[in-house]
A and B are shown apart, each in its own frame.
Chain A
Amino acid sequence: MAKSEAESFWTEHLLRRAGFGYNPAELEYYKHRGYERTLSELLEPDKVDNSKLDSAVEMQQFDFTRLDDLKRWWIYRMAYTQRPLEEKMALFWHGHFATSNRKVNNPYSMYMQNLIFRKSGMGNFHDLLLSVSKDPAMIVWLDNQQNRKGKPNENYAREVMELFSLGIGNYTEADIKEGARAFTGWQTKPDGFFFNAKDHDSGDKNFLSERGNFNGDDIIAILSRKPATANFLATKMCKFFVADNPSEDIVSDTAKAYKPNGNNIRNMLETIFTHPQFLSKESYHAKIKSPTELVIGTIKGLQITKLDSDLPNQMSRMGQSLFEPPTVKGWDGGQAWVSTDLMMERFNFATRVTQEKFDSIKGYITPSALVANQGLKTTNDAVNYLLNLLVDNDVPESTRDELTKYASKDNSGKTFDLVSDNIDDKLIDSKLRGLVHIIMTLPTYQLA
């Protein structure tokens, strides 16, 4: 079933947004299936066999008690999973429920929290919110361990409403106080979540115009039912997946897809990825890639199988340290990724990836291998091929011309055709690496 060029185009767009990009083989597979079947597959990760990844992960023997290894583990998963949307949602929830190891200081429990985002990240929001509220890392992060009957700590109650469900302006200070009382006794022990009845305030509470001797479960149930929650989540998801300033239409349509029962997260995603605004010119290359998307997209696009063990640090320097979001609000994203030093880090990341490194593995990529067997005939072909592979050819003519000029001359100024002339191997290698490097520094490469 031949798919039109337009449909292939949008499938790539979907893969960038609902995943982290693609390697050539994956792209062929998804393009062949077409947009709708691709989307179905993305929306139902449980039906996709991910055993190849699981066994590869097992072999790496990551040490989940070390933060750097934990980061490496997640990068590995994102790069090689057969369930891209599942991982992308885990990243989304990590930013949403932003918990930082800088305070929690227990990488293993950060790992356990991360598993929740995969297990419950695409089903019913209520289940997710409940699991997270009982998660030991979260309890430590928002001080609920100190929330006791008679001496309440309001931090969790405030943040669960402000940041995780309703959003600001949809509750009062009184609700926070009452909510805090309901969460008293929700603590953590070595074994995990522990309900300390001794510390729990089981009295009557007045919460968001409802009355009862609520405990934390009840609060979560109430919050999950509120339209404000639907709106809040819809807004965040549209910002994350569609555009920095999504239209009111897509946000309200997405919010409508949230019903208290059923797989409301999945339904919202489906609405987003089939919405006219998502499939519009305004959304194309409209988002700035987060450092995570940049790195994973690069690994996939360049088919990298030897990963730089320093990747977590490079990502941190680009502004995103996994498991260490800078504030309870997670990462702002969008234009916040763009500043002189952060851009320089991206450029230098590109150099590390493309440079000719050690004899044994010929660098992290073999650019010549990228272009081999593509039937290229001229320098122009090579440039076009790489532009297509890396930035969907979305550059002005001037860029194409400059790249071709660059790839057609050596240091002494002598010109040649990179593909058809008989020139030195090292020169070809350097030019190809240089091309990939420069393309990775282009504004378009920062876009998803």
Chain B
Amino acid sequence: MQITRRKFLKGGVCLAVGASPLFSMAARAAELQPRKAGESKILVVVQLAGGNDGLNTVVPYGFGQYYQQRPNLAIKQKDVLALNDKIGLHPSMTGLNQLFKDGHLALALGVGYPNPNRSHFRSIEIWQTAEPEKISNTGWIGRYLDNTWQKNDTLSRRLFPAINVDPMLPKSLASDRVLVPSVADVNQFKFNTDAHYQLDRQNQIETFNRIYSAFDLDRPSAQLLKDVGLDAMQASDYLLSVVKNYKSTVNYPDNGFGRSLKFIAQMITAGVDARVYNISLGGFDTHSNQLGAQANLLKQFSDSVAAFQKDLEQHGAEKDVILLAFSEFGRRVAENNGRGTDHGTAEPVFIIGAPVKGGIYGEYPSLSNLDQGDLKYGLDFRSIYATLIEGWLGGDSNKILNGNFERMRFV
């Protein structure tokens, strides 16, 4: 069975050459052992979609130009959650502020890349593929997964090399070989049977399993379909059983993003062996009436991440997880006529977790030395990726990122 080139699509199991599927369902089930704490390094990638206004997120309250350029939008100094005597966090971000105090938040400032692109479509593609200069069909995480794929990976790692919790698979997870399933919630991944005939459910499932286990047909793709069908049932069972045992006393915010992070925490603490999780929070494209919208979103973000951290700690999993949050671009320095801001360039990036060496990395971009009204970047985002690949996940970052990028010290 050849391994064919996979592209950008919702994906699934990794096809190992020569892997023989286990016919015995019991034997397969036995292979699915939960991940033990401390056994792997996990990355949760959060995209703040729409272009988050960095200036009002990490507020340069110690710089006069900030108030000059934003008479209506600037966050008042007394409201800012100061990180030092020059910059601080948006008042909504109390959760992240605490994490900074605890030394678990690395704040990378002025992150971007040369010749910045201000189109959502292209810019997010650049961040996801780590290729500012050309169109790539694979994502940086996809290439990481391909780079670290092993023939004898355990069944659970095969089924869930990474998990996408968004409805659509992002290009960052597009790969040549490994496929990433999209599971927004466990029930979506469940094998459904007619709800009106509940008593027949087991019969159908058993029939399915028996048919599939014995399925032998001489057609080009029959074997593949059989293997993946069995894997699908297996993965579904595994996920359902694994999250059933999850208990937590942490209160997550009652919104979509909070629920998704909770779901990720469930999977991590219950022992699913995925190395990367992907999630996004949308709405940051604040061309008008920015203050309220951004406050709301940053609160969702900050509170949910704080709850997530707490949850990991409660389950003893905090040393296994780093969370990366970025946006496809920052926004312009001056406010516009609609009490909002337009697409810009450099931005702050958040790297959060117990394994992280907290602090401020990089310099706040100059507010006077601008590039046609936009911030000039100081830190290439690929340095952050390189650091996470080499220093955390474990992979060949030169190969994965097609280049040599400076290692940072946050992990």
Cβ contact within 8 Å between B13 and A406: no
Chain B positions 215 through 243: 1 when the CB is less than 8 Å from some CB of chain A, otherwise 0: 11101111011101101100110000000
- Is B10 at the interface (CB under 8 A from chain A)? yes
Query: With the chains together, A348 CA to B222 CA distance in Å?
Result: 20
Interface-lining segment among B176-184, B306-314, B321-329: B176-184
Given contacts A102-B121, A340-B181, contact A447 B207 (CB under 8 A): no
- Is A213 at the interface (CB under 8 A from chain B)? no
B1-35 residues with Cβ-Cβ distance < 8 A to A are 4-13
Cβ contact within 8 Å between A338 and B12: yes
A321 to chain B, nearest CB (A): 8
Interface centre among A342, A355, A395, A403 (most CB of B within 10 A): A342
Cβ contact within 8 Å between A340 and B228: yes
Q: With A352-B192, A441-B229, A447-B221 given, name 6 new contacts (CB 8 A).
A: A340-B159, A343-B229, A344-B236, A356-B196, A433-B194, A434-B193
Residues of A near B182 (CB, < 8 A) are 341
Q: Which 9 A-B pairs have the closest CB atoms?
A: A339-B12, A443-B225, A340-B12, A341-B181, A355-B194, A398-B214, A430-B197, A351-B192, A340-B232
Cβ contact within 8 Å between A341 and B189: yes
Cβ contact within 8 Å between B228 and A343: yes
B15 to chain A, nearest CB (A): 8
Cβ contact within 8 Å between B193 and A437: yes
Cβ contact within 8 Å between A341 and B215: no
Q: How large is the interface on B (under 10, 10 to 19, 20 to 34, 35 or more residues)?
A: 35 or more
Cβ contact within 8 Å between A327 and B8: yes
Residues of B near A243 (CB, < 8 A) are 220
Cβ contact within 8 Å between B203 and A406: yes
- Is A354 at the interface (CB under 8 A from chain B)? yes
Residues of B near A437 (CB, < 8 A) are 193-194, 204
Query: With the chains together, A433 CA to B193 CA distance in Å?
Result: 10
Residues of A near B137 (CB, < 8 A) are 327, 329
B141 to chain A, nearest CB (A): 16
CB-nearest residue of chain B relative to A282? B220
Pick from B195, B210, B211, B232: contact of A344, CB below 8 A.
B232
24 residue pairs bridging A and B, Cβ less than 8 Å apart: A244-B220, A285-B219, A319-B10, A327-B7, A327-B8, A329-B7, A334-B4, A335-B221, A339-B10, A339-B11, A339-B179, A343-B225, A347-B191, A398-B214, A403-B207, A411-B203, A437-B193, A437-B204, A438-B207, A438-B208, A441-B208, A442-B211, A444-B217, A446-B221
Pick from A343, A394, A433: contact of B232, CB below 8 A.
A343
- Is A402 at the interface (CB under 8 A from chain B)? yes
Name the prevailing secondary structure of the A interface residues.
helix
Given contacts A335-B221, A338-B12, A341-B183, contact A405 B228 (CB under 8 A): no
Residues of B near A443 (CB, < 8 A) are 212, 215, 217, 221-222, 225-226, 229
- Is B200 at the interface (CB under 8 A from chain A)? yes
B319 to chain A, nearest CB (A): 29
Query: With the chains together, A395 CA to B12 CA distance in Å?
Result: 25
A180 to chain B, nearest CB (A): 16
B320 to chain A, nearest CB (A): 24
B143-200 residues with Cβ-Cβ distance < 8 A to A are 159, 167-169, 179, 181-183, 189-197, 199-200
Cβ contact within 8 Å between A406 and B8: no
Residues of B near A286 (CB, < 8 A) are 219-221
Cβ contact within 8 Å between A399 and B211: yes
- Is A174 at the interface (CB under 8 A from chain B)? no
Query: With the chains together, A23 CA to B179 CA distance in Å?
Result: 35
Residues of A near B181 (CB, < 8 A) are 339-341
- Is A119 at the interface (CB under 8 A from chain B)? no
A396-448 residues with Cβ-Cβ distance < 8 A to B are 396, 398-399, 402-403, 405-406, 409, 411, 430-431, 433-434, 437-438, 441-444, 446-447
Query: With the chains together, A415 CA to B120 CA distance in Å?
Result: 61
Pick from B7, B189, B197, B212: contact of A326, CB below 8 A.
B7
Given contacts A356-B196, A402-B207, contact A339 B13 (CB under 8 A): yes
Question: Which residues of B are interface residues toward A (Cβ below 8 A)?
Answer: 4-13, 121, 135, 137, 159, 167-169, 179, 181-183, 189-197, 199-200, 203-204, 207-208, 210-212, 214-217, 219-222, 224-226, 228-229, 231-232, 235-236
B113 to chain A, nearest CB (A): 20
Cβ contact within 8 Å between B13 and A340: yes
Pick from A328, A403, A433: contact of B197, CB below 8 A.
A433
Given contacts A285-B219, A342-B10, contact A347 B225 (CB under 8 A): no
Query: With the chains together, A437 CA to B203 CA distance in Å?
Result: 12
A312 to chain B, nearest CB (A): 13
B23 to chain A, nearest CB (A): 12
Cβ contact within 8 Å between A326 and B193: no
CB-nearest residue of chain B relative to A446? B225
Cβ contact within 8 Å between B10 and A341: yes
Pick from B9, B190, B196: contact of A336, CB below 8 A.
B9
Residues of A near B11 (CB, < 8 A) are 339, 341-342
B265 to chain A, nearest CB (A): 20
Chain A positions 236 through 258: 1 when the CB is less than 8 Å from some CB of chain B, otherwise 0: 00000001100000000000000
B6 to chain A, nearest CB (A): 6
Query: With the chains together, A102 CA to B122 CA distance in Å?
Result: 12
A427 to chain B, nearest CB (A): 9
Cβ contact within 8 Å between B219 and A430: no
A278 to chain B, nearest CB (A): 15
Interface centre among A284, A398, A402 (most CB of B within 10 A): A402
Query: With the chains together, A407 CA to B226 CA distance in Å?
Result: 22
Query: With the chains together, A443 CA to B208 CA distance in Å?
Result: 11
Residues of B near A377 (CB, < 8 A) are none
Interface centre among A102, A338, A339, A341 (most CB of B within 10 A): A341
- Is A37 at the interface (CB under 8 A from chain B)? no
Cβ contact within 8 Å between B191 and A288: no
CB-nearest residue of chain A relative to B231? A340
Residues of B near A46 (CB, < 8 A) are none
Cβ contact within 8 Å between B214 and A396: yes
Chain A positions 362 through 378: 1 when the CB is less than 8 Å from some CB of chain B, otherwise 0: 00000000000000000
B140 to chain A, nearest CB (A): 16
- Is A36 at the interface (CB under 8 A from chain B)? no
- Is A331 at the interface (CB under 8 A from chain B)? yes
Pick from A331, A402, A411, A433: contact of B9, CB below 8 A.
A331
CB-nearest residue of chain B relative to A398? B214
CB-nearest residue of chain B relative to A244? B220
Cβ contact within 8 Å between A434 and B211: no
Residues of B near A3 (CB, < 8 A) are none
Interface centre among B168, B207, B236 (most CB of A within 10 A): B207
- Is A332 at the interface (CB under 8 A from chain B)? yes
- Is A151 at the interface (CB under 8 A from chain B)? no
Query: With the chains together, A294 CA to B141 CA distance in Å?
Result: 31
CB-nearest residue of chain B relative to A430? B197
- Is A66 at the interface (CB under 8 A from chain B)? no
Residues of A near B229 (CB, < 8 A) are 343, 441, 443
Residues of A near B6 (CB, < 8 A) are 332, 336
Cβ contact within 8 Å between A398 and B220: no
Cβ contact within 8 Å between B194 and A351: yes
A114 to chain B, nearest CB (A): 21
Given contacts A340-B232, A354-B194, contact A398 B13 (CB under 8 A): no
Residues of B near A343 (CB, < 8 A) are 12, 225, 228-229, 232
B85 to chain A, nearest CB (A): 44
Residues of B near A442 (CB, < 8 A) are 211, 215
B194 to chain A, nearest CB (A): 4
B202 to chain A, nearest CB (A): 8
